[in-house]
Amino acid sequence: MPETTTPERLLTDLQQRLQSRFAADPSHSYVARLLQAGEDRILQKIGEEAIETLLAAKSASPQALIHEMADLWFHCLLLLSLHNLSAEDILAELTRRFNRTDK
């Protein structure tokens, strides 16, 4: 990530790129192919990536864990886009939870 790109900006840019793929040609876009296959295929990919993330965590390879986690986040962001939600919605929920006062 370039030094001038914040994590928030990266998530926003990625979300916009995913949205742009909704109208893309499936023969030229992985995201468009997943969207064409439907929500069940996207959910299947999330499940696959979650398992691969767990296996990478057990592999003791930080780079493998980073790679698989990035794949998992990517597919989760696609699912959010499919439901007209964004990373900002998740960040807002995490902020709400973090700021909650537990008694």
Domain architecture of the chain: domains with CATH: 7-99 (1.10.287.1080)
pLDDT reported for residue 100? 84
pLDDT reported for residue 17? 94
Percent of the chain residues past pLDDT 70, beyond the cut: 93
d(CA 74, CA 14): 9
User: Please, which residues have CB within 8 angstroms of residue 81's CB and are 6 or more apart in sequence?
Assistant: 15, 18, 19, 22
Q: Is 58's pLDDT higher than 60?
A: yes
Measuring CA to CA, which residue among 45, 29, 30 is closest to residue 79? 45
Q: Is 103's pLDDT higher than 80?
A: no
Structure confidence by residue, pLDDT tens digits, 61-92? 999 999 999 999 999 999 999 999 999 999 99
Structure confidence by residue, pLDDT tens digits, 34-51? 999 999 999 999 999 999
Both structure tokens of 81 = 């886009």
